[in-house]
Amino acid sequence: MTNPLLDDWDTPFALPPFDKITDADFAPAFKVAFARARAAINAIANAPQPATFVNTIEALERAETLMDKVAGVFFNLVGADSTPTLEALQRKLSPEFAAFNSETMMNQRLFQRVDQLFSRRAQLDLTTEQARVLTLYHRMFLRAGAALTPADRKRLAKVTERLAVLGTAFSQNLLADERNWVLALAPDDLDGLPDFLLDAARAAADARDLNGHVITLSRSLIVPFLQFSPRRDLREKAFRAWVSRGATGGDTDNGEIVREILVLREERAHLLGYEDFATFKLAPKMAKTPAAAKDLLMAVWKPARAQAERDAEVLEKMMRQDGINAPLSAWDWRYYAEKRRLSEHALNEAELKPYFQLDQMIAAAFDCANRLFGVSFRPLDVPLYHKDARAWEVTKNGHHQAVFIGDYLARPSKRSGAWCSRFRPQSRLNGATGAITVNVCNFARAPEGQPNLLTFDDARTLFHEFGHALHSMLSDVTYPMISGTAVARDFVELPSQLFEHWLTVPEVLQKYALHADTGQPIPGALLKRLLAAQNFDQGFATVEYTASALVDLAFHSAPAPKDPMARQRQILSDLGLPAAIPMRHATPHFAHVFSGDGYSSGYYSYMWSEVMDADAFAAFEEAGDPFAPTLAARLERTIFAAGGRQEADQAYLAFRGRLPGVEALLKGRGLSAGEDG
C-alpha cells in the first residue's frame, strides 16, 4: 500500500490529498523525507565539481522538496486540527528537525562551497535575485554556527536541539490548558449577555458535547464575556483562567520551560559572538539593534500610558456609580469600557455584530484584493483537512495564481490565535508553482443554520491575516528562499497591517456590512459612529501590547533571569504599567516568543511595521483614492510580489520614496507625542 504523502499529487493544483492522508502516514513519510534530504545535501557537499550557483545554491533550494511537502501538511494540521497522535509525533520530530538543520548548516564541505561562491560573487554574473539568495544562504550558515570551532559547533547543535524540544512542549502545554478549561454558565449567569454571545456559548458547549452554555479560553468568546457579563465574580474567574494559561502549576506549567529557553538562547548568542540574544536576533532585521526597537516602543509607551491612566480614572468612577468600592481591576476594564463606548459613541457590540457576517467579510477582503491587485477568487470543491475549511482558486489576468484556504471557526483541536501559513510557497525554480496559502482563525461559531457573526476586531483580524495571504500568493520570484513572506520579521507585518486599512474604507463597509436578518447595509449614522470610535480605548490596547513587547526585549537583552516571572514583574513595575492593564501575552502563554524562535526578541515587530503601514496608507489618502491604480501597482511590485528580493528598508523606499517617522502611527492611534503622564 502506497503512502499518499510520498506519491505525486494528481489533484487539482497539486493540493495535498487530504481525504487519503491519515495520521499514521506521517512517521514513515518523514523517515523517507529525511533520508532523501540527507542524500541530496551530502551529494552537493561532496560533489567533485567546483561550486557554481546552480550545483550548490539551486541544488540546496531543491534538496528538501519532499521534506517541505510532508512538513507543510504536518505542521499545518498540528496547529489547525491536532490529534494526540500528531502531537506525540511532533514531540519526537522536534529534536530530529533541529539535529538535521544543525547537521546541514554545520557541514563544513557544504559551507566551504557556499563561502567560496560568496567570496567570488562579484565575478559570477548573477541576477539580482541570485545575488540576494546567495547572500542569504551565506548569512544563514554563519548565523547557524558554520564558522565556529568543532567544539562550539557541537555544543550549539545540542542547544538548538534542546530549544526545539522546549518550544514544542511550551505550545502543547498551552493548547492543553486552552482545551481543558470551560466555564459552564447556569441560567442565572446568562443575564446581560447579548444574543450573539449566547449563541456562541451554546455552540461552544455543543462542540464539546456539553449541555447549555460555556465560555472557553478562545479570545472570540472570553473577550465579549468580559465586555458584557454584569457578574463581576464570573468575569474575575474567567479572566484569571485566561491569564493563567501555562501557569497552572501542574504538568502543563511553562515556568521552568521559559527559564531554560532564556538560558539556552543566551548561550546560543554567546557562542555566535553576540553580547545577548536580542542583539543576535535583530542584526539582520530593519531595527538592527535592541536599542532602536526599544526607542520606538518607548516613544509610543509614554503617551499611551498617559491616556490609559486618564481612562482608568473614568472607568473607576463608573464602578463607584455602580456601588463597587474596589480598585478597577483587569476583569473590570472591558466591561466598563464597553459601557463607556455606548455612552460616548452610542455604539455597542451587540448593535454592530449583525452587520459583520463572516461570509460578507471574506467577500469584502476578496473584493479589495481584486480592486487593488486584479486577483479573482473561484470556490473549489476539493477535499480539505476539516469540514470547516474552504478553498478558492486565485487567478490574475485569467491565469492561475494560487490556492487560498480559509479555516475561520474555533474548535478544540485548533490552537488559539490567528495565523497565516502555507502548504507550498510560490517559486519558478521548477516551473511556475503558485502558492497554497491558508488563513487560520478562531472566530466564535454560530449555532447550526445561523450565520457566523464577527466583532469589528474579528473583521480586522480577518483582513490582517488575508494581508499575509496576499503577500504569499502575489509573490513573483524564482527561489523559495525569498518567496512571499520570507522577509525580515519586522517587515513581514507591513502587508498584513496595511491591508487592515481597507476594512475601514466607508465604501467597503457600505457594500459588505449587511445586517444578517434584514440584508440592509449598515446605516450611515452607525457607520459614522463606528469610524469615529476607532481609536476608542487605544490607551489600553497600546499599553497591553507594548508591555509585552518591552518584556520580550528586556528578557533577551540582559542575562537570563533565574526567575522569569519575578523579572517580568520587575520590568512592568519599572515601566509603571497601570494596575488594571495586564500584558497582552504574559510570559507563560507568550507563544509568539516561546513556542519557537519566530518572534523571540521580535514582538516589537508589529509596532515597527505599524509605523510603515500608517505611512503607506497615507499615500493612498494623499492620492484621494483608496484604490489608486498607480499606487496599488507600485505597492504590488515593490512589496507584495517582491518577497525578500531586497533588504526591507530598500523595499519600503522603493514604494514610498522615504522611510517613515512615528508621527503617522501616533496620529493613527489617536495618541499625542510627548505625553508621559
Residues β-bridged to residue 453: 357
Name the nearest CA neighbour of 349 among 201, 545, 530: 530
Question: 521-542 as b/e, with b when 16 or more CB fall inside 10 Å?
Answer: bbeeebbebbeebebbbbbbbb
User: 129, 338, 465, 500: which one is catalytic?
Assistant: 465
What are the CB-based long-range contacts (under 8 Å, 24+) for 237-241?
Answer: 237/183, 238/183, 238/331, 239/330, 239/331, 240/331, 241/181, 241/183, 241/217
b/e per residue 225-258 (b: at least 16 CB within 10 A)? bbbbbebbebbeebbebbbbbbbbeeebbbbebb
Q: CB under 8 Å to 20, separation ≥6 — which residues?
A: 4
616 half-sphere exposure, CB direction, 13 A CA radius: 31
Q: β-strand 183-185 against 213-215: which pairing, if any?
A: antiparallel
CA atoms of 470 and 364, how far apart (whole Å): 14
By CB neighbour count within 10 A (0-12 exposed, 13-18 middle, 19+ buried), where does 290 fall?
buried
Start-to-end CA span in the chain (Å): 69
Q: Is 465 a catalytic residue?
A: yes
Which set of grid coordinates corresponds to residue 622? 494623499
d(CA 437, CA 424): 7
Q: C-alpha grid cell for residue 542? A: 497600546
224 Cβ contact list (under 8 Å, min separation 6): 194, 196, 197, 200, 349, 444, 455
E strand or H helix that includes residue 442: strand 435-443
Q: Residue 435 — φ and ψ, nearest 5°? A: -70, 150
Backbone dihedral region for residue 355 (phi beyond 0: left; psi -120 to 50: alpha; all else: beta) = alpha
Q: Which residues contact 519 (CB under 8 A, 6 or more apart)?
A: none
CB 371 within 8 A of CB 404: no
Comparing CA positions, the residue from 202, 158, 164, 163 lying closest to residue 184 is 202
- Closest by Cα among 411, 376, 413 to 394: 376
Active site residues: 465
